[in-house]
Chain A
Amino acid sequence: MTMTHISDDDLILAYYGESAGQDDHLAHCADCSARYRDLRAVLELAAATDVPERGERYGLEVWQRIRHRLPEPEPRWYAVWGRWQIAALAAAAAVVLMAVSFTAGRLWTPEEEAVAVATAPSPDVDDAMRRRVLMLTVADHLERSERVLTDIVNASAGTDISTEQQWADDLVAASRLYRQDAIDTRELSIASLLDELERTLLEIVHRPSLATGDDLDEIRRRVDSLALLFKVRVMSSELREETEAAAAPRATLTSTIG
């Protein structure tokens, strides 16, 4: 009678303890037992990586990094309903006001003081929102860029900077999009800083990954001559303050509604 051996896949399951009933076969079949030992010998090479230690305050550090980036939580149904209701009430009030104004205009004589219906120009909500999103996104982008620039400025000759280069490469791609958005929304100072930043990030990307002292000095000189780190920090902090100030009245309104 021919013995059915355990397949490679089932050996893997047996190694991970996810295949019941193979023990007996493994104990009696020299061939499968040897294949199992072979598999185990290789997989045990891939021992668990030591996770780099994080200090006691790590949670707090994470919080500090994300707290400005926390979005509005997705609204719950009753909050959405509440906002819709208020919007409907506002619309109804506007209709009543228009009707009253129209009737008043028909009834009153021309000598009487005309009723001025103040119609404040409605702000372009889409533009304001788009601008706010841009500012928030650019602030994040600048903070990430600052980290890369700081790493490079502090790197020593012969350091492998390939990780920073990969990061810089991603930032360049993102920066192009933000710069175009900044131009579209006429935020020319943001666009100009992003342009300078992009050129410097590209300089970093195009250096050898094992940067020499000369490579790093050249990047440092460029960063210093443009006062780039300083500008990035100032702009990022200004954008944060501005978005927080813009968000404050909205937060109050939301809490009133909710």
Chain B
Amino acid sequence: MEAGEAAAALARARQGDSDAFRALVELHAKAAFGLAYRLTGDQRDAEDVVQESFIRAYRQLGRFESRSNFGTWLHRIVVNCSMDALRARHSRREERGVDAAADLAGVLPSGGPSPERLARSAEIRKRVDASMALLTPHERVAFALRHWEGRSIDDIGSALGVQTSAAKHAVFRAVKKMRAALEPLKECR
């Protein structure tokens, strides 16, 4: 779909044309899934986030300013929905008394590490995932947006609806936690 067609579809969708909204869903769904997956690290959560984001976008179409870019607007909604999913996951873990640090220790062999085994990227991936579980939802989203999505700290602040300084500190805290958790793997690369 070309830019002009996308703009026309958006204009029709804003008039309540659900077929036009469908065209927007088809255009943006893959990108939304990629972002949601990077932020949540879980396929099912990412699927739910994509659906919830489009439903939220549809409900709020009246508030969308036509001069803005729909993709940018949707990006922000996906970030917010991902935050909600992460908060829900976080509180479930807290309710169950799941200790993320203990999970990490379970992934990190305490004695006799085998460098050959550790060097496998799947193992590293598992440890990175376990390290990500140590982060709060804010830290996780800030880190993922900066580290994987290449967003500037200013952008992260506006996506999360916080001051740039708060976004910056969320990134700092996340990096420090990740660093502490991943330090033992450094030699295994």
Give A residues with C-beta under 8 Å from B: 8-9, 12-13, 16, 18, 38-39, 41-46, 48-49, 51-52, 54, 58-63, 65-67, 69-76, 163, 166-167, 169-170, 258
Contact = CB atoms under 8 A, between A and B. Distances in A.
B171 A258 contact: no
Contact of B38 (A38, A51, A54, A71): A51
B18 A39 contact: no
Minimum-distance CB pairs A-B, first 8: A59-B26, A59-B29, A62-B29, A74-B62, A51-B34, A63-B25, A48-B148, A63-B22
Nearest to A169: B92
A8 B33 contact: no
A60 B168 CA distance: 37
A175 to B, nearest CB: 16
Report the contact-size class of chain B (Cβ under 8 Å from the partner).
35 or more
Nearest to A56: B30
B182 A67 contact: no
Interface in B70-95: 88-89, 92
B33, B41, B89, most chain A CB atoms within 10 A: B33
B67 interface: no
Interface of B: 16, 18, 21-22, 25-30, 33-34, 37-38, 41-44, 50-51, 54-55, 58-63, 88-89, 92, 124-125, 128, 131, 146-148, 152-153, 168, 171-172, 175-176, 178-179, 182-183, 185-186, 189
Contacts of A43: 147, 175, 178-179
Contacts of B27: 59
B25 A73 contact: no
B37 A51 contact: yes
A149 to B, nearest CB: 15
A258 B175 contact: no
B59 A71 contact: yes
Contacts of B148: 48-49
Nearest to A11: B175
A12 B171 contact: yes
A150 to B, nearest CB: 13
B182 to A, nearest CB: 5
Contact of A167 (B25, B44, B55): B44
Contacts of B92: 166, 169-170
Given A49-B125, A52-B43, A59-B29, 15 more contacts: A16-B153, A42-B178, A42-B179, A42-B182, A44-B189, A45-B124, A45-B189, A49-B148, A51-B34, A51-B37, A62-B50, A66-B54, A72-B59, A74-B62, A166-B89
